[in-house]
Structure 1
Amino acid sequence: MCSSPVDPEERSACSREVEHRVSTVREQTRRNYVRTAAVASLVGIGASTARGQNELNSDETIRVPRDQPTVQDAVDEADGGDLVLVDPGTYDEAVEVSTPELTIRGTDRNEVVLDGEFQRDHGVRIEADGVALENLTARHYTGNAFYWRYVYGFRGSYLTAYNNGDYGAYAYRSSNGRFEHSYASGHPDAGFYLGYHNPFDAVVTDVIAEHNALGYSGTSAGGNLTIRDSVWRHNVAGIVPNTLGEEDPPQRSCHIVGNEVSENHNSDAPTRAYTAEMFGAGILLWGGQENLVENNEVRDHEHFGIAATANVVEPSGNVVRNNDVSGSGTADLALGEPADEGNRFADNEFETSLPSGIEDDSSEGDPRVGGVFEARARLVDDGEFASGDWREQPEPDDQPTMPDPGIRPRPAERGTSWNGPR
């Protein structure tokens, strides 16, 4: 979530910059596939063996530090379609990427570490289409760990982001992308963030977010956007699609499915005033519309398990079904007042709700839901909310590294995933 309804680095930019790249990047991708196939033929890679098809051509790979001393030097040297392969070490640098269709990959997720030393702004900032980041750790940046801006085609796989001053994995006004097999902790905004685009055409899957203000935040984001099969725990709040400003389009059309969401009321996690208001909610549709929330396990929250409430716009058209929700201090299921039409709660396992007959009639919300958030807002206004220091959050355990990091890159897009253990 952003502290203001536009990106602070480019307040006058317009999201239409994303769309005009679509046809260009598709043609670039087609040409890249043709180029790859031609190279494979020239070096005698036969179609008969899968291993041969996946081996790298050394001319397309730049090794760090063997070929170039820093990640930035390798990125500057690379052409579109190349792989920057980074050997174990701590790299005290901030990387800027402007070449499309690169893959930057560590050989060991836990041993290839980008370190901001609490003074650099972003670990990797990308302003080019089709760039993938894989098998890396980024820590101690004053801004974001991994940051895509105004791109068509992005992917973050087997990433670890911890104790950075803003977001972990962050895609802003972008589309056609994926976050997967990744971990984020210790951020005073969101561990994983997708913002300001619809349709986003994106997937967040098989990730873990803990000790953040928000596990997931999606401001004015939706449209073929799925958050699934992930763990959201020990944040200030768990999964929060949201609308923030009257000048922005409402958040709509997000699918939240198959997640484990627990104990998101962590007063020791770092937070800011605007995220502190959401304290104690597992899945919170904060001014969200037309979202589908299903088949999630949501348990042990101070206030709400799953709630939809007004923020800038009234919740409408949201469907909450087949979830298992328990242990909520205020209500397992909740719909705030005012609420617009079309919200529906059905076939959930739960004990408490506001209003009390929420599955029989959700045509109106309950004012007590808004009262909880209003009370939090008063604490925020008085500066009395608890917050930990992002610099001092727990360091994570080692995370599963990418299987076989020496194989060829795959396209950076929504539909292309590396399969492997969490």
Structure 2
Amino acid sequence: MKKCHVVYLVCTATMIGTGLGAAPAPAGRTTHVVHPGESIQKAVDAAVPGDTVLVTPGTYHESVTVSTPRLTLRGMGRTTVIRPSTKKAAEDDACAGGGNGICVFGTKDRNVKGVTVAGLTVTGFTRTGLLSAATDGLTVRNVTAVKNGVWGIAQERSVHGIFRGNTARDNGDAGIFLANTITAEEGAADTQGTEVAHNRVEGNRIGITVRRLRNLAVADNHVTGNCAGVFVVGDENKPKAGDLVVRDNHVVRNNRSCPKTERLPALQGSGIVLTGTEKVLVADNTVEGHSGKSPLSGGIVLFKSMVGVTGEKNEVNGNRLRDNAPADLVSTETGDAARSNTFEGNTCGTSKPAGMC
């Protein structure tokens, strides 16, 4: 038995060897096949770098921690379902003990590299469906994260991530949540090209949240039926959040009503919101049908952050907006900050202040 010390979110995760039957795979790699009634965690613990854990259709009541580099955890579609265990979590099981479903964790000193999680459903966890920290090159593909208490899919302190083709629906906070760090106050981190693309995000408090990060793309996602669609969030820490791209997304009718929190006012009718950011390119998005009375309501909204940090040198270009209230384009910035932001080539009917369409 060995322990992997995880410092960002947890203490330790136990790794237990198993004699679970396995099938050979190409290039000397092994595929460990898990059937209903068997333990996914035991298969993961038996795997070595490069192996695949293939989980067959069925419902599995457990949390799963992955700390093995280049491991693939793959289901066989939405009918491979992971739900919370009815048993009390062990004291050293940080994933289950924290209310999370699948956890991909590196350590304080080393990111876990090249893990893939694909083709399964994770649902009903009190905190997060799929949570990752200290990863390099994590791929999350065709995962359905539904009805989890806080986030559907969440990541912190990681680089080179790929989140593609997932569905995040009816989660308590963000469907997809990316941050520099979840708990500490720090400047924005460079994600080194993380990509959030071709996901369907609906029925959450916020569809996609990018908090205190730089150098990533949010592209070609379908975001609908949330209280707010896409949030890019900065604050007073340095470096500032920004230097990223939000483009080619379909952001439509995010008009659910959500009460205020410690961090944000009540939300309703927000399409794409930038708050306290710099050098964000918002381009070629379709943003339609938003309406609300929140300070953050509108189609594309540039909003001075809750701690008074201005948004500067952001570019809002070539977007298609209609039927958003109080306006298609909204900016609360003033003075030099307002003058540094540009609005060009957008198709829209209304703006606040006037003159940005």
Q: Alpha-carbon deviation of 1:8?
A: 8.0
Q: Which residue of 2 aligns with 1:355?
A: 353
Choose which of 233, 243, 247 in structure 2 pairs with 1:253.
Answer: 243
- How far apart in 2 are the matches of 1:141 and 1:253? 33
3-state SS, counterpart of residue 72 of structure 1? helix
Residue 81 of structure 2 is aligned to residue 113 of structure 1: yes
* Residue equivalent to 2:174: 190
Q: Is it true that 1:262 corresponds to 2:252 in the alignment?
A: yes
Partner Cα distance (2:287, 2:167) in 1 = 19
Q: Is residue 213 of structure 2 the alignment partner of residue 212 of structure 1? A: no
Aligned to 2:270: 281
Give the SS at the match of 1:198. strand
8 Å contact from structure 1 (residues 318, 344) kept in 2: yes
Kindly indicate whether the alpha-carbon contact (under 8 Å) linking 1:212 and 1:270 is maintained by their aligned counterparts in 2.
no
> CA shift at 1:212, angstroms?
0.5
1:68-98 Cα deviation digits (max 9, x unpaired): 9211001100001110111111010001111
Helix, strand or coil for the counterpart of 2:150? coil
Instruction: For residues 163-198 of structure 1, give each alpha carbon's deviation from its aligned partner in whole angstroms, at most 9, with x where no partner exists.
Output: 001111111110101101110011222101111121
Structure 1 SS opposite 2:272? strand
Instruction: Quote the Cα distance in structure 2 between the aligned partners of 1:58 and 1:227.
Output: 36
Return the offset for 1:270: 8.7
Aligned to 2:114: 130
* Compared CA separation, residues 316 and 59, structure 1 to 2 (3 A): closer
Equivalent residue number for residue 295 of structure 1: 284
- Alpha-carbon deviations, 1:15-62, whole Å to 9, x = none? xxxxxxxxxxxxxxxxxxxxxxxxxxxx9xxxxxxxxxxx74685111
State the alpha-carbon separation in 1 of the partners of residues 238 and 104 from structure 2.
24
Alignment partner for residue 74 of structure 1, among 43, 48, 57? 43
**Which TM-score applies when normalising by structure 1?**
0.68
Instruction: State whether residues 259 and 266 of structure 2, in contact with CA within 8 Å, keep that contact through their aligned partners in structure 1.
Output: no
What is the CA-CA distance between 1:273 and the residue it aligns to?
5.0
Return closer, same or farther for 1:323/1:112 CA change in 2, 3 Å cut-off.
same
**Higher strand residue share:** 2
- TM-score normalized by the length of structure 2: 0.80
Question: Which of 317, 327, 330 pairs up with 2:326?
Answer: 330
| Larger helix percent | 1
Residue 199 of structure 1: CA displacement?
A: 3.7
- Measure, in 2, the Cα distance between the counterparts of 1:104 and 1:133: 5
| Letter in structure 2 aligned against 1:89 | G
Distance 2:168 2:191 in 1: 24
Contiguous gaps of at least 5 residues in structure 2: 1-6, 12-23, 89-95, 106-111, 181-188, 292-296
Match of 2:31 among 61, 65, 70: 61
> Following the alignment from structure 1 to structure 2, what is the Cα–Cα distance between the partners of residues 328 and 273?
26
1:211 deviation in Å? 0.6
**Equivalent position SS for 2:41:** helix
Paired residue type of 2:326: T
Q: Using a 3 Å threshold, how does the CA distance of structure 1 residues 10 and 84 change in structure 2: closer, same or farther?
A: closer
Distance 1:210 1:241 in 2: 17
Counterpart for residue 65 of structure 2: 96
Measured in 1, the distance between the counterparts of 2:227 and 2:73 equals: 32
Please give the secondary structure, in 1, of the residue aligned with 2:323.
strand
Aligned mates of 1:148, 1:106 — CA distance in 2 = 18
Query: Is 1:307 aligned to 2:305, yes or no?
Result: no
Count how many residue pairs are aligned between Structure 1 and Structure 2: 306
Comparing both chains, which one has the higher relative contact order based on Cα–Cα distances under 8 Å and sequence gaps of 6 or more?
A: 1
Counterpart of 2:229? 238
Kept in 2: contact 1:213–1:271 (CA 8 A) = no
1-structure distance, mates of 2:273, 2:125? 28
Q: Is the 8 A contact 1:213 1:272 kept in 2?
A: no
Instruction: Indicate conservation of the 8 Å contact 1:169/1:192, yes or no.
Output: yes
CA distance, structure 2, for counterparts of residue 171 and residue 88 of structure 1: 26
Q: Percent identity?
A: 30
Distance 1:10 1:59 in 2: 30
- Counterpart of 2:350, as a letter, is T
- Structure 1 residues 116, 58: CA separation in 2 closer, same or farther (over 3 Å shift)? farther
What RMSD in Å do the two structures reach over aligned CA positions? 2.4
1:317 to 309, 313, 317: 313
Q: How far 1:288 sits from its partner (Å)? A: 1.7
State the shift of 1:358 in Å. Answer: 2.1
